[in-house]
Structures are given as structure tokens and as C-alpha cells.
Amino acid sequence: MTVLIIAEHDNQHLATATRHAVTAGSKLGEVHVLVAGSGAAEVAEQAKQVAGVAKVLLADAEHYAGGLAEELAPLVVKLAADYRYVAAAASTFGKNLMPRVAALLDCPQVSDLTEIVNGKTFVRPIYAGNAFATVSSDAETLVLTFRTTAFAEAAASGGQAEVVQVEATPAQGLSRFISRELVKSDRPELTQARVVVSGGRALGSVEQFNELLLPLADKLGAAIGASRAAVDADYAPNDYQVGQTGKVVAPELYIAIGISGAIQHTAGMQDSKVIVAINKDPEAAIFNIADYGLVADLFEAVPELTAALGN
């Protein structure tokens, strides 16, 4: 029973999400990692050192450079014949690629799974995390995507996998990668952070969002998140969004500031270890899931909190 995990990378660095997927995959069998890219030998080197990886397949071709699903899917499908499970982290990369693979293999996909019950039974959230479905399948091949926050990351070193070159599949030419604009930040990555400070619409403007949240996040070494309302109002960039349609986080400490707590938001953070809510509305739904709630005007409470942490 071997598992093929599709590595996510930028041709230089293996994404942390893939190490979470390795942990999940190890629960199913021997883990092989496919690194498909252009000039991605360095990524294969990193992948072979990940604890729990038995083999790294490296496919190097120019048309794999942009990580386009149209180019990668035929390669994964060709290799899938030797595997019971084909899997990836449920990041935007995995979500984009894996269903294309599943359809070409004519096999079912279990998306964003949070628990492996046994080799054919899995648990996954539905209805924005308001329910968890246990699903099973007798299919010969299964395509899986793993929710990264549900599985710890495998150690980046300690593994001694062999690297095997595999032949690239022909270029499909259906799509072209044009550009990628990444939001630059010195902060920890949102899905990996130990502490997340998240702001909602109540912050009122992008200036206030930054003025209030940045110093607090700096004090805590935290990543910054946002509710959909804050993103839609342009207080924060899209990829800060936490929730059903944004990112799922499960930090040690999640501080929700001026966030009402709609189910679409809580779907993305309700597995946090400790949740703090600061909101002036005592009836806000966020207080139902917060471990510590402070009913207060955030414009006073947040600077006070930032100052208090300085001592």
C-alpha cells in the first residue's frame, strides 16, 4: 500500500504543507513524493530528507514550471498506476490539481480530510465545518487531500529517501502561466503561525486595521488574519481571509478582534487551542466559542492589550 504525495513547491523550496501531507500519508502506507517542476532538483533534495519519505520521484521539464494542473495531471495519472492513494495537501495547489487527477483516473476524491479512520474510511468537514462526515470507499485508487491543520508537519530532516528521475509527460499547451504576485511579509505564514491576530469589519479602515493589529501581532510574533468582511472592504489582502472560503488555521492562540463570528468565519478557526474575542457587542456569536471574551471597544482595548504585553 503505497501513497504518492504530490509536492507543492516554487522550484526552490518545498512547501510546509507538503510535510503535513507526508504525516497524513504515513498513516496509510509507504510514502513516495513526486516533485514535478523545472530546475527543481533542490526541491527533491529537500523532499528526500523529510522524515517518513521512502522515495522521491523527480520529473523535470520546462512545462512543469508554473505548477499548472493541465500539465501536471497527465504525469500524476501515468504514475498513479503503481499507487493505492494519490494525495496532496488541501492548499490551493492541491485543490486545483487533485480533482483533475481524480476525474482522469475515474476515481473518487475525498477533499480536505481531517481524520484517517482506516485505509478506506475518512472523516471530512461539510457545511462549513458544522458537521463531520465519515465516508468510505472500496475504490481501487483513491485521491485524497489533507487538511494541513489536522496533521502535524513531518520533520524536515532525518529522512534518507532515494531520488529517482521519472520521464516527463508531453506538454499539453492548453494553458500558460503568466505571473504570480505574492504578498510579501516578514510574519509567520498564516496557516503555520502559533498565534493569529484577526480583524473584522469593526476596524473601520485599512489604516486602523494596520495601526491596531500590526503592533499587537508584532508583540506576539503572530500572523495576521481577517474576516471576509474586512477583506471585502479592502482592509486586508485576500489571502489573509480565514474561513470556509479562505484559510483554515488552528493556532495555539487566536485573537478575534471586531469579528462577529459568522459560521463562514468560525469554520476556519474553531479548532484553535485558545480563542480570545474582543467585541463591543455582548451578543456577538463569537463569544459562544471564545475561551476568553472581552466586551469592550476594540479601539481602546487593543492598544491597551498591546501595551500590557510589553511589560
Partner 1 sequence: MKALVAVKRVVDYNVKVRVKADGSDVDIGNVKMSMNPFDEIAMEEAVRLKEAGKISEIVVVSLGVKQCEETLRTALAMGGDRAIHVQTDDYLEPLAVAKLLRKIADREQPQLILLGKQAIDDDANQTAQMLAALLNAPQGTFASKVELGENEVTVVREVDGGLETVALKLPAVVSADLRLNEPRYVKLPNIMQAKKKPLEKLAVEELGVDITPKLQQQKVAEPKPRSGGVKVQSVAELVAKLKNEAKVI
- Tell me which residues in 130-149 interact with partner 1 (CB under 8 A): 130-137, 139
Q: Which listed residue (61, 65, 104, 155) binds partner 1 by CB under 8 A?
A: 104
- Residue span binding partner 1 (CB under 8 A) among the ranges 18-26, 79-87, 200-208, 292-300: 292-300
35 vs 5: CA distance, rounded Å: 9
Candidate list 112, 146, 203, 215; residue touching partner 1; CB under 8 A: 112
Single out the segment in contact with partner 1 by CB under 8 A; choices: 33-41, 56-64, 206-214, 242-250. Answer: 242-250
Residues ≥6 apart with Cβ < 8 Å to 232: none
Say whether residue 103 binds partner 1 (CB under 8 A): yes
Per DSSP bridges, beta strands 195-199 and 121-126 are unpaired
Give the range of 27-35, 50-58, 110-118, 151-159 binding partner 1 by CB under 8 A.
110-118
By the rule CB under 8 A, 170 interacts with partner 1: no
**Binding status of residue 205 toward partner 1 by CB under 8 A:** no
- Which residue of 41, 62, 108, 162 would you call a contact of partner 1, by CB under 8 A? 108
Gap between the Cα atoms of 108 and 124, Å rounded: 14
Instruction: Give the closest residue to 6 by CA, choosing from 76, 77, 61.
Output: 76
Q: Is 273 in the site for partner 1 (CB under 8 A)?
A: yes
Q: Identify the residue among 228, 249, 259, 284 touching partner 1 (CB under 8 A).
A: 228
176 is a site residue for partner 1 (CB under 8 A): yes
Nearer to partner 1, 44 or 286 (CB): 286
Consecutive H or E run containing 86: strand 85-89
Judging by DSSP bridges, how do beta strands 109-113 and 142-146 pair with one another? parallel
Binding residue (CB under 8 A) for partner 1 from 73, 88, 193, 224: 73
Can you tell me the distance from the alpha carbon of 286 to that of 283, in angstroms, rounded to the nearest whole number? 8
**Residue 247 makes contact with partner 1 by CB under 8 A:** yes
Q: Pull the grid cell for residue 79.
A: 504514475
| Spatial separation of the C-alpha atoms in residues 12 and 188, rounded to whole Å | 19
Do 79 and 34 touch, CB atoms closer than 8 A? yes
Number of residues engaging partner 1 in binding (CB under 8 A): 88
Please report the DSSP string for 121-146 in residue order: EEEEEEGGGTEEEEEE---SSEEEEE
Q: Dihedrals φ, ψ of 280, to 5°?
A: -85, -15
From the list 18-26, 31-39, 167-175, 199-207, the region that binds partner 1 by CB under 8 A is 167-175
CB of 165 to partner 1, least distance (A): 26
